[in-house]
Chain A
Amino acid sequence: MKLLARTTVYFLIYASVVAGAGTFVYYGFIRKIYYAYVDRTLSRRKLRVDKALRLHLRTPADLDFWHRLDHNVEFKALKRGGGAPVFSVRMMYNELTGNVTPYRQLAAPVMFQGRPYRLELRTTMLDSQELLARIVQAGALLFGALLVGLLVLQHVLARRLWAPFYRTLGELQRYKIDQPEPVHLAPTRIPEFKELNMALGRLLNRNQRIYRRQREFTENAAHELQTPLAILRTKLDMLVQAPGLTEEQAGHIEPLLDVTQRLTHLSRSLLLLAHLDQQLFFPTETVDLAAAIRTQLGHLREQLAATNLRLETDLLPALPLAANRSLIDILVSNLLSNAIRHNVPGGEVRVQLTPELLVVENTGRPRALPADQLFVRFRPGPERPPGSVGLGLAIARQICETYGFLLSYHYEEPGRHQLRVRLG
């Protein structure tokens, strides 16, 4: 549930509880005020009746006469006097409306000519009950209007107030750490969002800066390595020309040639990764993937033979792609070399190319490799054979990302490891 919907629901629950309980409380409150008012009126009328009993009335017949004039004043003879005045509600027939209606009644003992009477003063509550109902109705209506108004207001305000938040969220969803331009969060006047945007902007731009610096560092480090490596290589080239080179000396030079080779490969791989990360421009041309695979397989034929591997291919005759030739060559070469390196003696390499999929499969250890670690740069571990710089698959994946391909690893029993490139 969205944040806005959630707050609205909570608000609705709260408002209906308050409105429900509030209506009852409000009704009770108004009723109490109204009864107090009616009772006060009745008490005042009783004072007038007391005065009339003392000054104007002579005989019990006068009392009856009064009752006949005004049905709401009634005297009843009692055997004994005393007792307290009592307010009550009673139902009586109303001559004007011809209905039984509720009356508020004050019953109080009075003395008339030395004899006790019970005085009953009544006032009809017909109009006043309706009034009460109307008051409660109006109250409820007001409450309802308030509720609806608040809901609408809340909705509109929330939309407006939270708009910067949603803009920021959208910006974050689009954010990529390797994007070249700095993050731009839309300005807002709301202090909380302003602070949020400021904090986020600082964080994101800082990340980007660190990322860029690290990338530059890798690139510079790789660059700086090239010249010393060039010196090393050319000096070794000169050294092997030395006349009278003995076999022992040659034995010392050979490993130097090998490590120089490895260092060169390593620094070139790092540089390539840095360039891929930077999304440097690689010129696009039409590359035939099938032909690239055949060429690379040709380069690797001797390696396959030397390790006694069987090669099985199922390739389309041609599959033209819009990509950079060197990158496609590197991708194919890395996948194939990987399949040869991690194979078992007498094993098999299977290469399959369909319009959607390139599959390179090799026999290997009879257990699945951790797929998430496979593409990590300089992945350590026992799987890494000597001489491998541990960047081949990382580069392969980066190239795939550059062209929107999807590189994934699959394991099939028994001991068949697959690298799949989903093209396009």
Chain B
Amino acid sequence: MKLLLVEDEPALLASVVSYLQAQHYICEVATNYAQAQEKMLLHDYECIVLDLTLPGGDGLDLLRELQKHQKAAGVIITSARAAVDDRITGLELGADDYLPKPFYLPELSARIAALVRRRHYQGTNLLQAGELNVDVPARRAAVAGKPLTLTRTEFDLLLLLLANQGRVITKGAIAEHLSGDAAEQFDTFENVYAHVKNLKRKLTEAGAPNYIRMVYGLGYRFEPN
């Protein structure tokens, strides 16, 4: 699956590329407006991760260009400009998602996964990991055919874990994924502990092996194998 990452900050770009490549995505990069323009018009991508402030131009103009050429790529805007109208303009111009900087890599990965799923498997969208089967549009999960009753939060948490299999997801990333950026962050991650604990309990009760491991005090890792 081919992605185009448009980002002018090399250090940030390097982490994103390295994380997403480990998720088995093929990543191409563009670090300025002209490069991005050329690549996105020449090639087809599953998803374009687009920074709005670029040397040589505004990311929103790239969106307009994409729209004009009727390119079918999904677009996730990542921007340091958190202004509300940027978000609205971006979404109006055909972007599929908006992820303000600074973001967590697992979050970006989950958003890309969700976008790709939405675009490819409309209606039937099944995820499989180990004995776990997840029907994303129906918001249903089952272990070896045995259905799980998950709360909305637990299901969201499961999706985040599934999109980042084998990777460590920090508690902060989970907290932000669950409560959005509106919630005030506490230094304690009671929420995260509680929801992970519940999800783990439900999985093991349904007969799944212990998929979710805590990695020291840092976060969790989902390993289906």
Binding site for B on A (CB under 8 A): 223-224, 226-227, 229-238, 240-241, 245, 247, 250-251, 253-254, 257-258, 260-262, 264-265, 268, 271-272, 275, 280-283, 296, 299, 301-303, 305-306, 324, 326, 329-330, 333-334, 337, 386-387, 392
* A235 to B, closest residue via Cβ: B15
Q: A261-B185, A283-B84 are in contact. Are A235 and B193 (CB under 8 A)?
A: no
Q: B15, B167, B178, B188 — which one has the most chain A CB atoms within 10 A of its CB?
A: B15
B12 contacts A by Cβ under 8 Å: yes
Minimum distance in angstroms from A188 CB to a CB of chain B: 40
Binding site for A on B (CB under 8 A): 9, 11-12, 15-16, 18-19, 22, 78, 80-85, 88, 100-106, 167-168, 170-173, 178-188, 190-191, 193-194, 215-219
25 contacts between A and B (CB under 8 A): A226-B102, A227-B9, A231-B102, A234-B12, A235-B11, A237-B19, A238-B19, A238-B105, A240-B170, A240-B215, A241-B19, A241-B22, A250-B217, A261-B172, A262-B187, A264-B102, A268-B82, A280-B83, A282-B84, A296-B183, A299-B183, A302-B191, A302-B193, A324-B84, A329-B182
Residues of A within 8 Å of B104, CB to CB, are 233-234, 237
Interface SS of chain A: helix
Q: A241-B167, A253-B218, A302-B191 are in contact. Are A234 and B186 (CB under 8 A)?
A: no
Minimum distance in angstroms from B177 CB to a CB of chain A: 12
Residues of A within 8 Å of B183, CB to CB, are 296, 299, 329, 333, 337
Whether A271 and B101, one on each chain, are in contact in the complex, defined by CB atoms closer than 8 angstroms, is no
**A227-B9, A258-B172 given. 10 additional CB < 8 A pairs?**
A227-B102, A231-B12, A234-B104, A240-B168, A241-B22, A275-B83, A302-B191, A302-B193, A333-B183, A386-B187
Residues of A within 8 Å of B171, CB to CB, are 257
Whether B191 and A234, one on each chain, are in contact in the complex, defined by CB atoms closer than 8 angstroms, is no
| Measured CA separation A232–B12 after assembly (Å) | 8
* B11 to A, closest residue via Cβ: A231
Complex partner residue of A306 from B178, B179, B190, CB under 8 angstroms: B190
Whether B190 and A305, one on each chain, are in contact in the complex, defined by CB atoms closer than 8 angstroms, is yes
Q: A240-B219, A305-B190 are in contact. Are A227 and B185 (CB under 8 A)?
A: no
| Measured CA separation A93–B51 after assembly (Å) | 120
Q: A268-B82, A280-B83, A280-B85 are in contact. Are A257 and B190 (CB under 8 A)?
A: no
| Measured CA separation A302–B192 after assembly (Å) | 9
Minimum distance in angstroms from A320 CB to a CB of chain B: 19
Q: A227, A272, A275, A392 — which one has the most chain B CB atoms within 10 A of its CB?
A: A227
Whether B15 and A231, one on each chain, are in contact in the complex, defined by CB atoms closer than 8 angstroms, is yes
Q: Top 3 closest A-B pairs, CB basis? A: A226-B80, A250-B216, A230-B102
Minimum distance in angstroms from A150 CB to a CB of chain B: 61
Whether B16 and A234, one on each chain, are in contact in the complex, defined by CB atoms closer than 8 angstroms, is yes
Complex partner residue of B18 from A224, A232, A238, CB under 8 angstroms: A238
* A242 to B, closest residue via Cβ: B168
